[in-house]
């Protein structure tokens, strides 16, 4: 069973991924796949540098993600260009990983922040949306060093959370403690697996 984990920015998707791993579910993060694909020398890296110039490259040669973020979150056309360069390669890598993981385990999960935005919903047997209150999201983004304006830009760049909630099969509300989140995640996992079992009886 292939699980997709999505949700709003800074809503706790990575923490849900860690909880799933502790529950024995293999997890891959599409953002980490993108980081790997943008390592110096790789085709995606070269394409990004060609499109955005040396201003998004660190002195060490790697992509300066903060500089790239400032460009693409201020310019929807630039963001579309970046997505067109990166998302197809990430999708191929994620699908390869999922095939391999499901040969070894009955269930595996992929964290895909832009799952619905990129039309990836059909790749999963069930999609879980992680949601958090907007005030908490803004606080977390500012803690990452973003200004209020930059944080708001990143929130606006994604599909509204209320729409993601509607499209998902399950929603995990991250509005309490880490222990609350762990319980909610395990509860949703059990529910999804039980439904899958019933569907295959």
In order of their start, the domains of the chain are 2-199 (3.40.50.300)
Give the angle subtended at the CA of 194 by the CAs of 129 and 130, to the nearest 5°: 10
Decide: 148 and 191 in contact? Cβ < 8 Å. no
Average pLDDT on 67-82 reads 94
DSSP alpha helices (H): ranges in 43-200?
43-52, 65-74, 76-104, 134-143, 148-156, 161-167, 178-199
For residue 196, the model assigns a pLDDT of: 80
End-to-end alpha-carbon separation of the chain, Å? 15
What pTM value is reported for the model? 0.92
Residue 165 in tokens? 């909630």
For residue 189, the model assigns a pLDDT of: 96
Instruction: Determine the Cα–Cα distance for residues 73 and 197; give it in Å rounded to an integer.
Output: 42
- Residue 201: is its pLDDT beyond 70? no
Residues with Cβ < 8 Å from 181, sequence gap 6 or more? Answer: 12, 15, 16, 19, 172, 174
How confident is the model over 97-123, as pLDDT tens digits? Answer: 999 999 999 999 999 999 999 999 999
SS3 107: coil
For residue 5, the model assigns a pLDDT of: 98
Return the percentage of the chain with pLDDT > 70, whole number.
100
- Residue 198: is its pLDDT beyond 90? no
Average pLDDT over all residues of the chain: 95
How confident is the model over 140-152, as pLDDT tens digits? Answer: 999 999 999 999 9
Instruction: Determine the Cα–Cα distance for residues 30 and 157; give it in Å rounded to an integer.
Output: 17
Average pLDDT on 180-185 reads 98
- Residue 177: is its pLDDT beyond 80? yes
């Amino acid at each position: 069973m292939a699980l997709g984990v999505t949700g709003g920015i800074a809503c706790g998707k990575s923490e849900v991924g860690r909880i799933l791993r502790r529950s024995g579910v293999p997890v891959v993060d599409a953002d980490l796949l993108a980081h790997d694909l943008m390592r110096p020398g790789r085709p995606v890296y070269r394409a990004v540098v060609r499109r955005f110039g040396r201003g998004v490259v660190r002195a060490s040669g790697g992509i300066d993600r903060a500089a790239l973020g400032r460009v693409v979150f201020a310019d929807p056309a630039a963001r579309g260009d970046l997505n067109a360069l990166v998302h197809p390669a990430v999708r191929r890598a994620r699908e390869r990983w999922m095939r391999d993981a499901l040969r070894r385990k009955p269930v595996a999960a992929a964290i895909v922040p832009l799952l619905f935005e990129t039309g990836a919903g059909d790749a999963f047997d069930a999609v879980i949306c992680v949601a958090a209150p907007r005030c908490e999201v803004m606080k977390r983004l500012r803690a990452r060093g973003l200004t209020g304006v930059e944080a708001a830009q990143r929130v606006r760049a994604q599909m509204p959370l209320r729409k993601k909630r509607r499209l998902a099969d399950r929603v995990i509300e991250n509005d309490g403690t880490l222990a609350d989140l762990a319980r909610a995640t395990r509860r949703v996992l059990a529910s999804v697996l039980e439904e899958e079992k019933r569907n295959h009886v």
